[in-house]
Amino acid sequence: MASPAVSSTQAAVAAVQQYLSPLLEQLSKVSALFNFNPAMVKLLKAVVFVVFVLNIRSWPLVWHVRIWRWAILKRLDYRLFRIRTALHSKEKRGRLEDKWVENSIALGAHPFKYTSSYHTYASLDESDFNMHLSNSSYAKTLDSARFKLAVEMFTPFFRGGGWIPLAATQYHFICEIPILASYEVRTSLGAWDGKWFYLVSKFVMPANKSKKKRKSRPAAANGNGNPDSMASLRTPSCEDDVSSGTSTPVSGSSATPNPVGANGLAAQLLKAKAESANGNANGTATPSSKRPEHDHLDIEEPDGAQVHTVAISRCCFKVGRITVPPALVFALCGMSSEGAAASSSSVVSAKNFKPSLPPHWPAVRATCSPFNASAKGKGRAKVGGYGTFDPRVISRFLKGGWKEVEDPKDKWWERAFDSVREENEARLRKLEGRA
C-alpha cells in the first residue's frame, strides 16, 4: 500500500499533466504548422530578430553601460595617463596629475551659469502607444544626464571616495517629445543648503523642430467638443492649450515624496520671464509666448530651444555614511561665484566653457596636498605621485577635517560663493515652495 506522501505526489503530477495537456496540444499544432510551412519559421525568426534589434537600448545591462560610460571613459583616460607618465619622476608626475585633475572639472565655473548637456532620442522601446516618449522613460534618461554632470564637475570629490545619493525627483510635463525625435537634457545647479542641493534638468528640443511639430499636428479636441477618451493617459502635446484647462492637466509627478513645492517648481519653469521683462524695459514687444497667460504653454531657452519637461532632483554628498556640505564640495571641485565666470551674464554649456582659476584655488591645493599636516590631522604623508590632489588627504578632509579648521580666513569654501548668497537663498525658497 502506497504511503500518503507518495499518493499526494502522484496526485500533484496528475494535476500538472492535466493542466499542461491542452497547452502541449496547441504547441504541437503550431509546430506542425511550421514544419509544414518553412516560410513561416523564417518569417517568425525575422520578426523576433527585428524586435530584438529595435529594443537594443532595453537589453540587459545596457542601462548600466549608458549610466556608467562617462565614469568608465574617464577612468580609462586616467589609466592611460598613469601609463604615459609612469617613467617620469615623482615630482613631474605629480605636476602632470594636477593638470589632469584641473582639466577634468569645470574649473572656475559659476554655480548658476554652467550647464551640462546630454543628447539622446526617443527610441521605440522608450515610447508608448501615444507615439511619444513615455513618462516612465524620463527617469531613465535623467539618470544618464545627472551622472554625466557629476563626472564632469566632481572628480576631486570622487577621488576622495565620495558618492551622490538621490533623495527625490519631481517632473513637470509641459509638452510631449515625439517618437524617434532627438532631444537634449540640460542640467544645471538650482540651489543648495547645508545638506541638500537641487539639480534642475530641462528636456528641450530645437526651436525649428518643436514649432514644426506644433504646426503639423491638428489641434487637440477639448472638453467642449469630442474629448479624447485617452487624454488622461498622455503628456500634453505642444499645441494643447494647457492654460485653459481643456486638455490634459499639466501637473507635477514624483517617483518619491515630493520635497519641491508646486509654486517653486512653477517659478523655475517660468524662468524665461526675466528675459521677457528685460525686453519690455528696452522698449521691445513681448512675444505672445512670453505673456503671463502663456507662461507655462511655451517656455523657451535663450537660444530658442523649447522646454518640453522640467525635472528637479534633490541630492546630497556623502563619503561613506558621512554627509558633506554641498558648498564645500562645490568649492573643492573648482566652482566659484568670484572668478572670471562671474563677469559673464550668460549661461555656458560644457562644450563652450573656458576654465579659469578661481580666487580660492591656491587654498584648495594647499588643503589637498599631502604636505599639509593640518588637512591630514597626522604626520607628513608619503607622496605617491598623485600630486596636489592626494585621494587619501581629500578623503580625510571630507570625513571631518574641514570641521577642524578654526580660522575663518582658512575656510575657503565659505568665501567661494559670497556674491551669490542672497540669490541662492531666493532660489532655495522657490524650490522648496517657501517663496
Residue 166 confidence (pLDDT): 94
Domains annotated on the chain, with CATH: 111-219+232-280+289-356+420-435 (3.10.129.10)
What span, in angstroms and rounded, lies between the C-alpha atoms of 12 and 170? 50
pLDDT tens for the chain, 435 residues: list them: 556 666 777 777 788 778 778 877 777 776 666 665 677 778 888 888 898 888 888 888 999 999 999 999 999 999 999 999 888 888 888 888 889 998 989 888 999 999 999 999 999 999 988 899 999 999 999 999 999 999 999 999 999 999 999 999 999 999 899 999 999 999 999 999 999 999 999 999 987 765 555 554 444 444 444 434 333 445 566 655 443 333 333 344 444 444 444 445 544 444 534 443 344 444 443 333 343 433 434 477 888 889 999 999 999 999 999 999 999 999 999 999 886 555 555 676 666 677 788 999 999 998 888 876 444 444 444 444 567 888 899 999 999 999 988 888 888 998 889 889 999 999 999 888 876
Residue 340 confidence (pLDDT): 59
Residue 137 confidence (pLDDT): 93
Predicted TM-score (pTM) above 0.85: no
Residue 259 confidence (pLDDT): 47
Residue 426 confidence (pLDDT): 92
Residue 281 confidence (pLDDT): 41
Residue 11 confidence (pLDDT): 79
Residue 408 confidence (pLDDT): 83
